[in-house]
Amino acid sequence: MSSQNQSSVLHKFKDILFSTMSSEELLSSMDSFNAREDDVFLVSYPKSGTHWIAKVIENIPNAEITLTSPIELGDISKFEELKMCCKRRVIPTHLSYNMLPVDIKQKQCKVNYIVRNPKDTAVSLFHYYRENPNLPGIESWAAFLELFLRGDVVYGSWFDHILTWEDHKNDENILFIFYEEMKKDPSKSIKKITTFLGINVSEREINQIACKSSFREMKNDAAKENCDANKTICALTSNRSLVFRKGAVGDWINYFTSKQKIVFDELFAERMKHSELARHFEDYS
């Protein structure tokens, strides 16, 4: 990957790589954002399932919500744009806890934090780099994995990101949702999300939401809604067809060599040694 290629689509802010679709002016003005107490934030490291949770929330009957584009997407006019939303706002972001606007923390806005096995996340982000013109070109999986392990990818280190959020896992306004658990039992995760948001839904409605937010349905919808600016919930592209690839659990095994797995697992053990969340990934490693 040439540095010229990287610098044309990415820039560094506070030592973390961001897409040029997120202006430095906007990123440096985050603390001027005015949160509302009923705001909901969908937060994750890229390629961890934000679109999935967004689809679930969009399909909650009578929810009276507006799903916005990411808080860090665009320029300083973003805050004016968000101010125009009359309904309860559901705002996606890939920001780490440390970069989240201070008003969100002070008002204890509800946050859904979505976590996915980092090996699957790395593979999914690798394909995203290869297919998305808003991200740098990549020579090979091996080259990309090195960047991922160094945190030299968009939104920085997976480990740094998840650990800033894990520090707040016991905050009452933050709900952790695991991608793998949602895949195994969608209805159970949907029930968790609706209860957390204070929205009453019946069992029948939960099952309907699960059907409408299945991977196949989302992929079909993406083709119909493609490049609709109102449906942009990724800070890295408005092309929804790029977002849905496989949605699989355990696909990493088709990419990692045994040596790469050892290197990854050693770094994971070191970085996550004090993490309770690390236990969740034992079944998927």
Q: For 125, left (φ over 0), alpha (ψ -120 to 50), or beta?
A: alpha
CA distance 201 to 219: 25
What does the pLDDT read at residue 237? 59
Checking if the pLDDT of 3 tops 50, the result is no
Query: What amino acid positions are annotated as catalytic residues?
Result: 94
Q: What angle separates helix 203-212 from helix 186-197, to the nearest 10 degrees?
A: 110
Residue keyed to tokens 């309860």: 88
10 Å CB burial of residue 153 (0-12, 13-18, 19+) is: buried
Residue 247 has a CB neighbour count (10 Å cut-off) of 19
Checking if the pLDDT of 153 tops 60, the result is yes
Q: How far is CA 193 from the centre of its chain?
A: 16
Q: Tell me how many degrees the CA angle 235-59-39 measures, rounded to the nearest 5.
A: 55
Long-range contacts of 258-262 (CB under 8 A, 24+ apart): 260/142, 260/145, 261/119
Residue 214 gets which letter from DSSP?
S
pLDDT tens, residue by residue, 237-280: 555 555 555 567 888 999 999 999 999 999 999 999 999 999 98
What does the pLDDT read at residue 24? 97
What does the pLDDT read at residue 282? 80
CA distance 93 to 70: 5
Domain 3-284 has CATH 1.10.1040.50: no
Phi, psi of 247 (to 5 degrees): 65, 30
Contacts of 160 (CB under 8 A, 6+ apart): 96, 151
What does the pLDDT read at residue 42? 96
The region of weakest confidence among 46-60, 152-166, 171-185, 187-201 is 46-60
Residue 91: strand, helix, or coil = strand
pLDDT tens, residue by residue, 75-115: 999 999 999 999 999 999 999 999 999 999 999 999 999 99
What does the pLDDT read at residue 110? 98
pTM value surpassing 0.75: yes
CA distance 280 to 178: 9
Instruction: Parse the chain into domains and list their residue ranges.
Output: 3-284
What does the pLDDT read at residue 234? 65
CA distance 194 to 201: 7
Tally of helices (H runs) and strands (E runs) in the chain: 13, 7
What does the pLDDT read at residue 98? 96
Residue keyed to tokens 């990818």: 153
Give which of 131, 122, 179, 124 is closest to 152, Cα–Cα.
122
Q: Are 5 and 137 in contact (CB under 8 A)?
A: yes
CA distance 199 to 157: 34
Pairing of strands 88-93, 65-67: parallel
What is the mean pLDDT of the segment spanning 34-46?
97
Residue 102 has a CB neighbour count (10 Å cut-off) of 12
Q: Tell me how many degrees the CA angle 138-139-142 measures, rounded to the nearest 5.
A: 95
Checking if the pLDDT of 214 tops 80, the result is no
What average pLDDT is seen over the chain?
89
